[in-house]
Amino acid sequence: MRTVSENKCFGGVQGVYSHTSEVTGTEMTFGLFLPAEAETRPVPVLWYLSGLTCTHENAMVKAGAQRYAAEAGIALVFPDTSPRGPGVANDEAYDLGQGAGFYVNATEAPWAEHYRMWDYVAEELPRVVTAAFDIDEERQGITGHSMGGHGALTLAMGLPGRFRSVSAFAPIAQPTRSDWGRKQLTAYLGADETAWLPHDATHVMRETGFDGEVLIDQGGSDQFLDLLRPEVLAQAMAARRQAGAFRMQAGYDHSYFFVATFMPDHVAFHAAALTR
């Protein structure tokens, strides 16, 4: 692992690091905020998965999460959204290829060689982070925005016992029935739609739910509402009687202004689960 940068931040350190990934076969970069408490003891960790076109840097700079994480004494990890590099398959569209990994393990050419973001986020990056930094592996939460909200929900429900808490900002709620999903899942996983189902938060919510509380915020003026399909996830949560809350926030769009507005609530939600 290599240190790209480290900056003092709210009494802790905001770092950026890179490493050679065996899972993706590429160089991967991630951000990590460590609160001051990490100097003396293992700290809980909150994973933040970003959306389409983002790198590790977008949420790290725009979401304003470090202040609240520092107050709660928890670490933040900001992974990248896909493998990158000149030898990595890409597409001219913003919603496929580099910057659009959708947190799945691709099985189809030309994507399968590098696009293994489920294994990267679920297995390899946690090993890298916990080996190098004082992180409490028993206390983990996960959140994300848009494509990252989809990833946070499917990872949390697909890995029972891994995360104590999960939240999402404007998640892609039903990719198997949305243009933000059908295109990408076909490209990465093939035409067999049964292979898509573990990566559909609404389907997994109906089937298994989450063994803890869930918090979801959705902007009522989000310009992508028809693609996100939040109503079906809300219905699935209600039908399953899932513990938690789905909140429609009037007037808010899909931007990081929306994410930053409700970030204090989300960090507090995770801190309550991670520090009790």
Any catalytic annotation for residue 222?
A: yes
Residue 131 carries which side chain, given as an amino acid letter? Answer: A
| Catalytic site residue from 114, 145, 199, 254 | 254
Q: Which domains does the chain have, with CATH numbers?
A: 2-275 (3.40.50.1820)
Any catalytic annotation for residue 82?
A: no
Q: How many CB atoms lie within 10 A of CB 194?
A: 8
Question: Tens-digit pLDDT profile for the chain (276 aa)?
Answer: 999 999 999 999 999 999 999 999 999 999 999 999 999 999 999 999 999 999 999 999 999 999 999 999 999 999 999 999 999 999 999 999 999 999 999 999 999 999 999 999 999 999 999 999 999 999 999 999 999 999 999 999 999 999 999 999 999 999 999 999 999 999 999 999 999 999 999 999 999 999 999 999 999 999 999 999 999 999 999 999 999 999 999 999 999 999 999 999 999 999 999 988
Q: How far apart are CA 148 and CA 233, in angstroms?
A: 15
Any catalytic annotation for residue 95?
A: no
Enumerate the H helices of 133-207 as residue ranges.
147-158, 179-189, 201-207
Q: Residue-wise over 131-151: b if at least 16 C-beta within 10 A, else e?
A: eebebbeebbbbbbbbbbbbb
In this structure, what DSSP letter does residue 208 have?
T
| Catalytic site residue from 21, 50, 82, 146 | 146
Residue 34: what are its φ and ψ, rounded to 5°?
-115, 125
Q: Are strands 2-9 and 12-20 parallel, antiparallel or unpaired?
A: antiparallel
| Catalytic site residue from 80, 200, 217, 222 | 222
